[in-house]
Amino acid sequence: MSLSPWIWFAALLTLCTFSFLWRDNPFYKFAEHLFVGVSVGYTITILYWNAFLPRVWEPIVINHQFYVLLPTILGILSFAIFFKKISWLIRYPIAFLMGAACGISVPRSFQGYIFRHMQGTITAISPGQSNLLLISNIIMVIGVIATLLYFYFSIEHKGFIGKVANVGIWYIMLAFGAGFGYTVMARVSLLIGRLQFLLHDWLGVID
Amino acid sequence: MKRQFPLAIAFICGIGMIIQFFIPHPVSQRTYQEVLQWQIIVGIFMAIIAIRSLFVVHIDKIKRKKEGWGYSFITLFAVLFTAFVGIRIGIGEDSLFNDLYAYIIVPMQSTMFSLLAFYMASAAYRAFKARTAQATLLLVVALIVMFGRVPIGEKVAPWLPAFIEWILMYPNMAAQRGILLGVGLGMIATSLKIILGIERGYLGGG
């Protein structure tokens, strides 16, 4: 059995959290509120050390890079929300964040989502492949087209289009099944990890 | 000033960042890095608003003695204590802050997520009825993936891991690609709508 107070604390918090399986109770509520508090405190600390100090405090106060005052003032404008008369000023920092984020995302979405997947699909079927690989790739290409057609709502899913869209549903259901299976396995592996912590690290009853 | 100027800011920043992507010049790269820095700086102040909101909610709960108000003390104390420890004492490898992370956040996060294993199993038992052929396919694939990823699955059917790999690499990949292409097009369309001022919901009312 572990003698470390931290291991004991972590084990008790783990048990408090698992107690929710019985029903909502004060032990779970305690652990839940503690978790929220520590997580927010952690976020504040990380923001302070990794964002505020190196990007605001040091450039302005130590390095005298006064242009950093511009984004700082833009950020401070977000506090306008606390004053009813000037609350509209928060739109400036939000507009900057939204505009810049959208501008950054447009070409990168083309590159990461559209071109890469199009390229992978178009170049999948090529000469010199084994029969199994060729059939697999044909199945994949048909699946991409069928799934895309299922999500294309500008034309009615009737006749040939309806049939292809229906094939798309089969592919989507298969992908959801695989995704569900993987998610369950990930959660079960976390559960095994917690049980290992309780039985090995805390109680020391297993090797 | 209240609506047009923010729309102009969004338009200039958006178009600027799109153009910047196509200019492989050091100045363009520096601009990109600078905009990322600015986003983080503005984000710090936005985070302060979010943290203030947490305090307001919990202080209000305590003031009005709402149900479970005693737990709000725990949350507020934990926030202040963790932030104090992290900012005043430091965040080194052997620090108290690191212990708070390793022995509170990490175990609780993984326990919370592991709890979902039980709820997913119970929800799946209730919801996954093989009513249609497509629902049966979902159920069968989920079972095959789960069974094939544990040692006993491989012992019973040695071909199972390779079959699962094939499912993931081809039919699953096909649907994922279809969905991701749709997501990409959706992101581009929404981004363009915001940049061009067609979508203005983020500005709020007034």
What pLDDT sits at residue A149?
Answer: 94
Chain A closest-CA separation from residue B146 CA (Å): 5
- Domains: count for chain A: 1
- Domains: count for chain B: 2
Residues of chain B contacting A66 with CB distance shorter than 8 Å: none
Overall average pLDDT of the A142-169 stretch = 93
- Co-location of B85 and B100 in the same domain: no
- Distances B24 to A1, A109, B12, B31, B76 between C-alpha atoms, Å: 60, 18, 20, 11, 48
Amino acid present at B54: L
Kindly state whether residue A146 falls inside one of the protein's structural domains.
yes
User: Is the pLDDT at B79 greater than 60, yes or no?
Assistant: yes
The interface pTM score, or ipTM, of the predicted complex is: 0.88
Overall average pLDDT of the A108-125 stretch = 92
What pLDDT sits at residue B118?
Answer: 87
Residues of chain B with pLDDT > 70: what percent? 99
Element (H or E) spanning B64, and its range? none
- Cβ neighbors of B186 (< 8 A, separation 6 or more) are none
What pLDDT sits at residue B206?
Answer: 57
Greatest Cα pair distance, chain B, in angstroms, is 70
B68, A25 contact by CB (below 8 A): no
Q: Which residue in the block uniquely carries the two structure tokens 């400036």? A: A92
Chain A closest-CA separation from residue B155 CA (Å): 18
Chain B closest-CA separation from residue A206 CA (Å): 19
- Distances B58 to A177, A186, B53, B192 between C-alpha atoms, Å: 41, 34, 9, 39
Overall average pLDDT of the A162-166 stretch = 95
The pLDDT tens digits of the residues spanning B40-76 come to 999 999 999 999 999 999 999 999 999 999 999 999 9
Q: How many other CB atoms sit within 10 Å of the CB of residue B176?
A: 20
CA B118 remoteness from chain centre: 22
- Cβ neighbors of A9 (< 8 A, separation 6 or more) are B103, B104
Supply the mean pLDDT for chain A: 94
Q: For residue A188, what is the nearest residue in chain B, using CA coordinates?
A: B117
What pLDDT sits at residue B93?
Answer: 86
Lowest mean pLDDT among A18-22, A37-41, A139-143, B128-132: B128-132
Rg of chain A's alpha carbons, rounded to an integer?
27
Residues of chain A contacting B48 with CB distance shorter than 8 Å: 79
Kindly state whether residue B139 falls inside one of the protein's structural domains.
no
**Which of A4, A45, A198 to mutate to probe the B interface, most B CBs <10 Å?**
A45
Residues of chain A contacting B179 with CB distance shorter than 8 Å: 147, 151, 172, 175
- Co-location of B15 and B78 in the same domain: yes
Kindly state whether residue A65 falls inside one of the protein's structural domains.
no
Which tokens belong to A140?
A: 């994949």
pTM confidence score: 0.88
Burial degree of B148 (CB within 10 A; 0-12, 13-18, 19+): buried
Residues of chain A with pLDDT > 90: what percent? 91
Burial degree of A49 (CB within 10 A; 0-12, 13-18, 19+): middle
The pLDDT tens digits of the residues spanning B120-162 come to 888 888 877 777 898 899 989 999 999 988 889 889 999 999 9
A68, A60 contact by CB (below 8 A): yes
Residues of chain A with pLDDT > 70: what percent? 100
Supply the mean pLDDT for chain B: 92
Overall average pLDDT of the B105-116 stretch = 94
What pLDDT sits at residue B124?
Answer: 81
Write the residue in B74, B103, B183 that is nearest to A30 by C-beta: B74
- Co-location of B12 and B79 in the same domain: yes
Q: Which domain holds residue A186?
A: 128-207
Residues of chain A contacting B111 with CB distance shorter than 8 Å: 13-14, 17-18, 190, 194
Q: Which domain holds residue B82?
A: 1-89
Write the residue in B121, B170, B191 that is nearest to A105 by C-beta: B191
Residues 64 through 83 of chain A touching chain B, CB cutoff 8 Å: 68, 70-72, 74-76, 78-79, 81
